[in-house]
Amino acid sequence: MPVHTDITVTHNRPDLIYIDKLNNKTYLIDITVPSDYNIGAKEIEKLSKYHLLKTEVSRLWNTQVTVIPIVIGSTGVVAKSLKRYIDKLDANIDITILQKQAAIHTSIIIKLSLKWIKKQQISSNLESSIFAIQDNAVMIWQHQRDILKESVDGKCRLCACKDETVQHILSGCEKLAGTHYVKRHNNLVQYVYWCLAKKHRIVVSSLWWKETMIQPQVKENNSTKIL
């Protein structure tokens, strides 16, 4: 849901806005799942991206505002700083669940994206799949071209725009952006939302993965507002 301000703020749609009425604090929460090599840069990018919105919300709503970047690498790798941001929410958010969900969806993306490669040997075991992805031990065209010296052009078979690397498939292919990447992202948003709602005794499903989020959605009671 976009935040309306007096001036034009380009980046005005964080994934979640969590208002703690009792302590007069507002949290702008944005979640992303980049490649493992990009988690530090993405955290800095999120803080910069929402700096103006943070300033305007603080002024207009007369509240203390904090930007919470939740950055989970595509195979579940996280920066040490993530715990500090999660702790600020004080909502019993389990970082290992975020990591596991990112890894599960990444494994699915790899399997679906590379299903046409007969040489592919990705284990059905999640841990083995993630190790293979982290080690780039996945038989994609860039590997066949540059390492095995086979006669292939190396371009992604989905978008045909960039080299078919593991990192491209996990977080950079435009053909996957509107489907599998979105599903992976929304899954993490759903869990964080559920934890915040549970903290303030807002009625939600007993199991976080069964919670349905319909946009735009606003949940509110005497202690909080989540949108």
Mean pLDDT in the chain? 85
Domain positions in the chain: 16-101+180-226
Q: What is the pLDDT of residues 178-218, one digit of tens each?
A: 888 999 999 999 999 999 999 999 999 999 999 887 766 78
Inform me whether the pLDDT recorded for 126 exceeds 60: no
* Sequence-distant (≥ 6) Cβ neighbours of residue 34 within 8 angstroms: 41, 42, 71, 73, 74, 171
Instruction: Report how far residue 126's alpha carbon sits from residue 156's, in angstroms, rounded to the nearest whole number.
Output: 24
Inform me whether the pLDDT recorded for 148 exceeds 90: no
Length reported for the chain: 227
Q: What is the pLDDT of residues 51-79, one digit of tens each?
A: 999 999 999 999 999 999 999 998 899 99
Q: Global pTM?
A: 0.84
Give the pLDDT confidence score for residue 61 in this predicted structure: 96
Instruction: Report how far residue 169's alpha carbon sits from residue 35's, in angstroms, rounded to the nearest whole number.
Output: 10
What DSSP assignment string belongs to 197-227? HHHTT----SSGGG----SS--EE-SSEEE-
